[in-house]
Structure 1
Amino acid sequence: MLAEQMNPFNNLAVSAIVAAIPILLFLLCLTVFKMKGIHAALLNLLVTFLIVLIVFKLPVGESIGSVAEGAIQGVFPIGYIIVMAVWLYKIAVESGKFDIIRGSIVGISQDQRLQLLLIGFCFNAFLEGAAGFGVPIAICAVLLISLGFRPLQAAMLCLIANGASGAFGAIGIPVAITGTLGLDGVTSMQVSIMSAWTLPIINFTIPFLLIWLIDGFKGIKEVLPAILVTSTAYTVTQGLITIFIGPELADIIPSLFAMGILALFLKKWQPKHIFVMGEAAALKAETYSVGDMLKAWSPFYTLTIFVLIWSIPAFKGLFTAGGALESTKLAFTIPGSSIGVTLDLIGATGTAILLAALVTIATTKSLSFRRGFEIWQTAIKEFAIPILMICAILGIAKLMTHGGLTVTLGEAVATTGKVFPLLSPILGWIGVFMTGSVVNNNTLFAPIQATAGHIIGTNPSLLVAANTAGGVMAKLVSPQSIAIATAAVGATGQEAALTRMTLKYSFGLLVFVCIWTFVLSFFF
């Protein structure tokens, strides 16, 4: 925090209400006023800048530097990751691999409810665990559209499905980072174990919710065996991993296991009624050789291999102080401020995806590097506005952090005493709504959660886990997630509509996490 004060009105309640204006205004802009996402983001950036500058007395240089920091991070690493992921997807389409992938899925089942479980839930969770940062939503939503789902519908379903995996995205970093914050009595393993008291309930429920959203209770009844196979395989496996191994593989292994078990199950069982939505015609199932299948899926397992390498501690160590590749990191201070920025040019996840794309081009005879470069330019053009929106959102988040608004909100909620566990997940929801990242959320609010836990006599690891779970529920409506989803399905400008579609589910899941955390606080 760089501001002169966090309680400008000498009344924490009033200061917290003012600090909450950017969040409330953002929700109003996207729901009541139905503004385009980019317009809402830019308006809120201006309002937040004025609040931080005039009310919280953040110096002009630091205020401008905060916006600059957010803009830089919006482009790199987040924009970098998004463009690389979309580029890889477009390469798969251009090369014809995507048609084989789609055909192989249809070969498992032509029922769109089962396709949703395979792609919207299982493959979504796998990509979240391997890459995170919007990659699963961007890729899986488009894949669902190719299978006959409507654009905004596909985006909504992928956002909701992501609620089952967001806590352990990008090799478990959201939970793993809590062990690096020096919190008293809190380790990442303790948070991982404590999350197993809440997340499995949500994870088991989400496949039911997904099917209900497209085919109601009738659909749940008709494909109940497949839902139970998916929910049980994923939930039990993830629960065991989070308790006995840790957060790093808590998405990757369960999602692959659930997808494999479901695919094998569907070879023996299919619903009596094949469900195909509205105008979407049933796609013809194709038969492909094992070699064709391996080649078609190669962009994604190549992606996984590179991302896993980038996540190995020994590889990460190359970029730390004294490491062999330390010099590849660009560090500087934003002029006119005290805010430092570090750009990890090679160690960024986007570089791992870039290499996967280059390998895919190099191993695809029908695709030249020149054509690949043209596809890359198309991806940049398509995502220019969404990335600008993300830059504005992160500018708001940095202003709230450096200006003390997030601390004010945290301190205000923490004054509620024994009722705090009921409100604890709301802090996480706020953190992810503003930053779009569960990692950033835990960095911001995990210390407040842990401190509050010690003060009120509640297990601090429970509250940090609640902060994580509450944050995951905000990913359904985070402006950053919404921007990525609408851009991926070709619906840029319809952010308000998508927000309205997902908001009630975000709030509903958040209410459950709040109540359940409060119940658990009596036992921990």
Structure 2
Amino acid sequence: MTWKQIIDPVADNLVLSALVALIPTLYFFWALAVKRMKGYIAGTTTLLLSIVVALIFYRMPVSMAVMSSLQGALYGLLPIGWIIIPSVFLYKLTVKTGQFEIIRSSIVTITEDRRLQALLVAFSFGAFLEGAAGFGAPVAITAALLVGLGFNPLYAAGLCLIANTAPVAFGAIGIPIIAMEGPTGIPAIEISKMVGRQLPFLSLFVPYYLVIMMCGFRKANEVLPAIFVTGGAFALTQFLSSNFMGPELPDILSALVSLVALTLFLRVWKPKTIYRFAHEESAPGVRAQDRPKYTGGQIFRAWSPFLVLTALISVWGVPTFKKALTGKYDGANELLRWISKWLGHHLTFYPNVPGLHNLVIGLNGKPIAAQFKLEVLGAAGTAILLAAIVTKFIVGISWSKWFVTFGETINELKYPVINIMAVVGFAYVTNASGMSGSLGNLLAKSGPLFPFFSPFLGWLGVFITGSDTSSNLLFGNLQKVTAQSVGMDPTLAVAANTSGGVTGKMISPQSIAVACASVGLNGKESDLFRFTVKHSFIMVTIIGIITYAQATILTWMIP
């Protein structure tokens, strides 16, 4: 028995239907920002409320609503939860064995300035991890690194979430843009070019914005040369690579160029004053000559776990290798095809969701596929776990302590993982019931102002789904069709969906949960949400202004 989604189930009125569809989202905002509920409580009650709205107003069958929430919850566990657990575990291994103390010292030798450390770790290194892996790994790893350096946990998580905006569109080897080619029919290279003519403005702005958040305009201006080197190197490389190479490598190349450029620049330039946090100013400082001296070999050994991590998640992100791990390799190598087939049969499973697969008829009149995605070996979290296994031998920890640490990590993360499963379940119910369609179609009716509101549609999609890729699949074709109806270039509209979506990542329930889990802020998701929400609105508004200008007076920027 099939069930068809309805765009305006409330009195055949799209506005009223969209307002009803907003109820779970508004409740989630209220639960976190006003009531300051613990994340897993807010997430679970939001999931239950979304099911109620789907049943009562959208008349979705009970079995379909329940199975869609189960599909989302399982996706929240694998791959999202499976990224967080080994990421935090790897960090804890370096702390327990004293290696992180050497890592912290090596960063301090580059710069003791907290402003510049945030640029190095949160912005540049985080962008590299986003390009290589995505799906929560960048924020989980960089936030933990900043906490280890002495940053306040809430501060570290917030900075890393905001820094993670610029690279999201090209994350995980360009998947968000590559995925949008299918439903829209617009070549990925064309979308890449257009996104590469929007996001570099944000990439140039974000480093400055981060430092202003930390210490205000005056102290930010003290390190303006370093900020310009960081953002300028990233933005220029992002523009060139996205326009002349495609969507796969802009993040990785931009991050590497930015990281190397800032490190080399700091060898010849130093800020007049070293910025430290207030509690550090009042505490007795450690003179440079009194700090422990580490050899190059010791520093390399300490960083090795993260070097191994970077190498493995980079390999896991290569499309051909990813296909081989998940049984989808279709190349000419017979041996690799056999291995891929074996792995796909034993370690990769895509079972249909019972009672849901192809039974929901979408707003376009086509059945919607619903499958559990269980990629055991192909998941990025598995690559991180392998890095943790290699780390066991690098740092010389015993297997007993290794397993004890792993158990401690799972125990610490049980509530954050429950939260992630709940909010991803909420996203799946919202999509399957048609609630997201009602919201999207209302926003699409803004007429001549659609170019300004187009990025807000992507922002909404990422807030709901937690993924720029999912948002592009959800709203990409709607952006294209609406743009054609209002006289806007379709390539600009679908690019705006991606560019706007990156600004919603910092307030997505999944991202909030990941960030809190990585720095030990279990139950403090509401505080982090309040920290990031205003910055999200500011940045999506900037993207809206850029898109409107490109649609009206800067049309020469459209490829």
- TMscore range, shorter length: over 0.9
| Distance of aligned partners of 1:317 and 1:488 in 2 relative to their CA distance in 1, 3 Å threshold | closer
Residue in structure 2 matched with residue 293 of structure 1 by the alignment: 299
1:205, distance to aligned residue in structure 2 (A): 0.7
SS in 2 for 1:279: helix
- Listed one character per residue, the Cα deviations across residues 241-282 of structure 1 (whole Å, up to 9, x for unaligned) are 111112212111211221111111111111121111111255
Q: Which amino acid aligns with 1:479?
A: P
Instruction: Indicate yes or no: 2:422 matched with 1:392.
Output: yes
Other-structure match for 1:68: 70
Secondary structure in 1 matching 2:210: helix
**Structure-2 separation of matches of 1:110 and 1:101:** 13
Give distance in 2, aligned partners of 1:94 and 1:187: 48
Aligned to 1:382: 412
Alignment of 1:74-153 (within 5 A): 74-153=76-155
Q: Determine if contact 1:389/1:483 at 8 Å carries over to the other structure.
A: yes
Structure 2 letter corresponding to 1:194: M
Q: How far apart are 1:160 and its partner, in Å? A: 1.0
Tell whether the 8 Å contact from 1:191 to 1:464 is kept in structure 2 after alignment.
yes
Offset at residue 161 of structure 1 (A):
0.8
Whether the 8 Å contact between 1:69 and 1:341 is mirrored in structure 2 is yes
The DSSP-based 3-state class of the residue aligned with 2:463 is: helix
Q: Distance in 1 between the 2:155 and 2:428 partners?
A: 32
- Are 1:306 and 2:325 matched, yes or no? no
CA distance in 2, matches of 1:44, 1:208: 35
**Match of 1:521, SS?**
helix
For 1:330, give the aligned amino acid. F
Mapped pair 1:334 → 2:325: no
**Residue matched to 2:485:** 455
Pick from 461, 464, 468 the counterpart of residue 438 of structure 1: 468
Q: Which residue of structure 1 lines up, in the alignment, with residue 31 of structure 2?
A: 29
2:39 corresponds to 1:8: no
The whole-number CA distance in structure 2 between the counterparts of 1:446 and 1:207 is 29
Work out the CA distance in 1 between the residues paired with 2:379 and 2:42: 29
Does residue 263 of structure 2 align to residue 263 of structure 1? Answer: yes
Relative to structure 2, which stretch is displaced further, 308-317 or 333-342? Answer: 333-342
Whether contact under 8 Å (1:3, 1:57) holds in the other structure is no
1:481-496 equivalences in 2 (<5 Å):
481-496=511-526
Structure 2 residue 418 is matched with structure 1 residue 401: no
1:2/1:230 CA distance change after superposition, 3 Å? farther
Structure 1 residue 321: Cα displacement: 7.5
1:473 to 1:4, Cα distance in 2 relative to 1, 3 A:
closer
CA deviation string 1:68-88 (max 9, x = no partner)? 101110111111111111112
Contact 1:174 1:442 in 2 (8 A): yes
Please give the alpha-carbon distance, in whole angstroms, between the structure 2 residues aligned to 1:313 and 1:478: 26
User: Residues 193-224 of structure 1, C-alpha deviation per residue, up to 9 Å, x if partnerless?
Assistant: 10122111111011111111122122122111
| 2:184 aligned partner | 183
2:337 is aligned to none
Measure, in 2, the Cα distance between the counterparts of 1:3 and 1:17. Answer: 20
Map of 1:233 onto structure 2: 233
Instruction: Choose from 374, 378, 387 the match for 1:343.
Output: 374
Q: What is the deviation of 1:432?
A: 1.0
1:42-53 correspondence to structure 2 within 5 Å: 42-53=44-55
Question: What letter matches 1:237 in structure 2?
Answer: T
How many angstroms apart in 2 are the aligned matches of 1:251 and 1:2? 41
Q: CA deviation at 1:59?
A: 0.9
Structure 1 residue 511: deviation in Å?
A: 0.9
**SS of equivalent to 1:370:** helix
Task: Look up the equivalent residue of 2:393 and give its one-letter code.
Answer: A
The aligned counterpart of 2:502 is 472
CA distance in 2, matches of 1:85, 1:118: 19
CA contact (8 A) 2:84 2:518 kept: no
Partner AA of 1:34 in structure 2: R
Identical positions, percent: 42
Q: Distance in 2 between matches of 1:385 and 1:420?
A: 40
1:104-159 CA-partner distances (Å, limit 9, x unpaired): 10001111111111112111111222222222222222222222221211111111
- Confirm or deny: 8 A CA contact 1:426 1:467 kept in the other structure: yes
Distance in 1, Cα, partners of 2:246 & 2:3: 35
Contact 2:40 2:416 in 1 (8 A): yes
How far 1:57 moved relative to its partner? Answer: 1.2
Q: Deviations over 1:89-109 (max 9, x none)?
A: 222222332221111100011
What is the one-letter code of the residue matched to 1:347? G
Shift of 1:4: 4.2
Structure 2 counterpart of 1:320, one-letter code: K
In the alignment, structure 2 segments of 5+ residues that lack a partner are 331-339, 358-369
Secondary structure, aligned partner of 1:251? helix
Pair 292,118 (structure 1): closer, same or farther in 2 beyond 3 Å:
same
The farther-off stretch of 328-337 and 152-161 is: 328-337
CA contact (8 A) 2:132 2:317 kept: no
| Cα contact 2:127–2:255 (8 A) shared by 1 | yes
Are the equivalent residues in 1 in contact too, given 2:304–2:394 (CA < 8 A)? no
SS of alignment partner, residue 9 of structure 2: coil
Tell me the amino acid that sits aligned with residue 38 of structure 1: Y
Q: Specify every segment of 5 or more residues in structure 1 that has no aligned partner in the other structure, as ranges.
A: none
SS at match of 2:350: strand
Offset at residue 415 of structure 1 (A): 2.3
**Counterpart contact for 2:173–2:318, Cα < 8 Å:** no
- CA offsets 1:296-354 (integer angstroms, 9 cap, x no match): 22112212222222222322332228752321311223344434213111111111112
CA distance in 1, matches of 2:447, 2:276: 51
Instruction: Please list the CA deviations of residues 345-386 of structure 1 after superposition, one character each: whole Å capped at 9, or x if unmatched.
Output: 11111111121111121333x212222122111111111111
Check if 1:170 corresponds to 2:188.
no
Instruction: Rate the CA distance shift 1:182–1:471 in 2: closer, same or farther, 3 A.
Output: closer
Aligned to 2:245: 245
**1:391-411 Cα shifts (integer Å, max 9, x gaps):** 111111111111011111122
Q: Secondary structure at the match of 1:208?
A: helix
**Residues 321 and 245 of structure 1: is their aligned pair in 2 closer, same or farther, counting only changes over 3 Å?**
closer
Matches of 2:344 and 2:3 in 1, distance apart?
A: 28
The answer to whether the 8 Å contact 2:430/2:436 transfers is yes
Using the alignment, how far apart are the partners of 1:38 and 1:313 within structure 2?
34
C-alpha distance in 1, partners of 2:91/2:131? Answer: 17
Q: How many residues align?
A: 521
Q: TM-score normalised to the size of structure 2?
A: 0.89
Separation (CA, whole Å) in 1 of partners of 2:400 and 2:158: 35
Partners of 2:112 and 2:209 in 1: how far apart? 20
Q: How far apart are residue 29 of structure 1 and its match?
A: 1.6
Match of 2:224?
A: 224
TM-score by length of 1: 0.95
Does the Cα contact within 8 Å between 2:133 and 2:317 map onto a contact in 1? no
In structure 1, C-alpha distance between the alignment counterparts of 2:85 and 2:255, rounded to whole Å: 24
Paired residue type of 2:75: Q
